[in-house]
Amino acid sequence: MLDSGFMTDRSDFLAAATPDAKRLSELADIDCLVLIGEPGLGKTTELKAEYRRVNASLREGDHALLVELGFTRVASELEERIFGSEEFEEWRAGEGRLHLYLDSLDEARMRLETAAKLLIRGLEDAPHQRLVVRLSCRSADRHQTLENELSGWFGSERFEVRELAPLTRSDVEAAAKAEEVDPENFVGEIIASELQSLAMVPESLKFLVGIHRESGSIPTRRSDAFEQGLKLLCREPDEDRRIGQTSPSSRMAVSARVAAATMLSGRSVIRTAPGTPGPDEATLAELAGGHEIDRHVGVERNLDIDEAAVEDALGTAIFAGAGAGRSRFAQTSHSEFLAARWIADGGLSARQRDDLLFGAATGRVVPQLREVAVSLAELSPEFEAMLLDRDPLVLLRSEPRGLDNGGRERAVEALMEGARDQARSSPTRPIHLGHAKSPAI
């Protein structure tokens, strides 16, 4: 049920249509919970909040462990972080309960199948009666085999899959009012621009409110919202660090280089401290050198990229700390968009781009880079046309990205073909079609 494209207010809709809707804290009696949702809805935020709450009130003999599944691309390191941890080993040897929080299966730097098998292997002989699991994942990247195993171990009464609900129209109005933006005018512009799906996500709603407060209006495309919103973040220092005097546009260009260097190499952390980097870390020296062309300031401008320029970009609110002497992107969707922006600005030749984005064996987009490809399709009509030919299903796995009717028709035709040919579409992963509307469909 929708209210002008927004989710109907919880007091009306959820009470009638989904009476079992609950807050995460109200699902304490469910020992194994898979939390799914679209990018940016706040799955990680909710998971970390519950971890902190539970960890602060543990009973004697109980343990709590939070692991970000995207922290490494090395399977043995992920296995050690979970099953070789002090918390896990002490729990197995004792009689208490372990509260295990596994964040962002979809962001695993290894193949999703590899990460799922690792979890199954590590948990299959665990004392499930003393285990509480919370696993988060993007809706389009659920792993059915892993869910089936979890359901079998815990039983139907102790296992559930829950989807994080998007914001309602009332939530959007309240967010605008809190920032002294006229709620009625703000929501009206969102409806006129058909950006409801963007406004119902906390992360992108923050962009829209900030842009409206700054300029008095909102952009009409998702890519413009991210471009302008991230530029605002480039003016904001991370609360623990300082930024220099370079322009937000320059920091944005450097951040895009960092995003491409980390996303396309499967790394997740930028090391700023001296010492030997780990396999998942990029160093300042690796990220510096040469120049970037800033095409987003009215005129093209060459930017010399030295280590100081990289450190300056790392001091913005786009990045967050990842431990002493380490940084990472605060939001995965930010790094995905920025990597696409760097490619669209000419960072790679078409052949280099395709070699990195598409798997040699499958001819389709590498799973970890799907959102990069979708963002790039928004920014590059040439790439969008090519993606519709080579892997159109990628465009149906994500939120609306501005496909015209012809593009929607071609993408849905590919979906129908994939339904007849199982090799083209995994039956274990749902595909969302709410944005596939077309007059011809």
Q: Are 339 and 255 in contact (CB under 8 A)?
A: no
d(CA 232, CA 228): 6
Distance CA 247, CA 234 (A): 8
The pLDDT assigned to 384 comes to 92
Amino acid at 61: G
Nearest to 71 by CA among 110, 44, 40: 110
As a whole-number percent, the residues of the chain with pLDDT over 70 amount to 83
Q: Is the model's pLDDT at 320 over the cut of 70?
A: yes
Three-state secondary structure call for residue 257: helix
Could you tell me if 146 and 115 are in contact, meaning their C-beta atoms sit under 8 angstroms apart?
no
Q: What is the mean pLDDT of residues 15-24?
A: 62
Computed over every residue of the chain, the mean pLDDT equals: 86
Contact residues for 362 (Cβ-Cβ < 8 A; gap 6+): none
pTM greater than 0.75: yes
pLDDT at 24 over 90: no
What do you get for the CA distance between the two ends of the chain, in Å? 21
Per residue in 191-235, pLDDT tens? Answer: 998 889 889 989 889 999 999 999 999 998 889 999 999 999 998
Residue-level pLDDT at 15 = 47
Residue 423: both structure tokens together: 């090799």
Listed residue (357, 434, 351) closest to 391, CA to CA: 357
Of 189, 191, 139, 204, give the one whose Cα is nearest residue 2: 191
The phi, psi pair for 366, rounded to 5°, reads -60, 130
CA dist 71 and 50 (Å) reads 20
Q: Supply the angle between the helices 183-193 and 169-178 in degrees, to the nearest 10.
A: 130
Beta strands 281-283 and 32-37, pairing class: unpaired
Cα distances from 181 to residues 140, 354, 435, in angstroms, run: 34, 42, 28
For 131-167, the DSSP string reads EEEEEEEEGGG--HHHHHHHHHHH-TTTEEEEEPPPP
* Cα 89 from Cα 126, distance rounded (Å): 11
Which pLDDT band holds residue 407 (cuts at 50, 70, 90)?
low
Highest mean predicted confidence (pLDDT) among 84-88, 391-395, 414-418, 432-436: 84-88
Could you give the CA distance from residue 31 to residue 177 in angstroms, rounded to a whole number? 38
Copy the structure tokens of residue 187: 């929501």
Is 50 exceeded by the pLDDT of residue 351?
Answer: yes
**Tens digit of each residue's pLDDT (9 = 90 or more) over 57-75:** 999 999 999 999 988 889 9
Residue 422 pLDDT more than 80?
no
Which stretch of DSSP H or E encloses residue 286? helix 284-287
Beta bridge partner(s), residue 307 = none
Q: Is residue 9 predicted with pLDDT exceeding 80?
A: no
DSSP 358: B
Q: Is the pLDDT of residue 279 over 50?
A: yes
Judge whether residue 426 has pLDDT over 70: no
Which residues face 132 on adjacent strands?
99
For residue 307, give every residue at least 6 positions away whose Cβ sits within 8 Å of its Cβ, in sequence order, or none: 284, 285, 287, 288
In angstroms, the Cα distances linking 232 to 66, 92, 213, 314 are 31, 47, 11, 14
**40: pLDDT strictly greater than 90:** no
Element (H, E) at 16: helix 13-17
Report phi then psi at 10, rounded to 5. Answer: -60, -35
Confidence check: pLDDT of 13 > 50: no
CB 199 within 8 A of CB 208: yes
Q: What are the tens digits of pLDDT across the range 134-161?
A: 999 988 889 999 999 999 999 999 999 9
- Specify the pLDDT at position 95: 96
- Domains of the chain, CATH where assigned: 22-163 (3.40.50.300), 248-345 (no CATH), 348-424 (no CATH)
Residues 6 or more apart whose CB falls under 8 angstroms from that of 245 comprise none
Task: Return d(Cα 268, Cα 270) in angstroms, integer.
Answer: 7
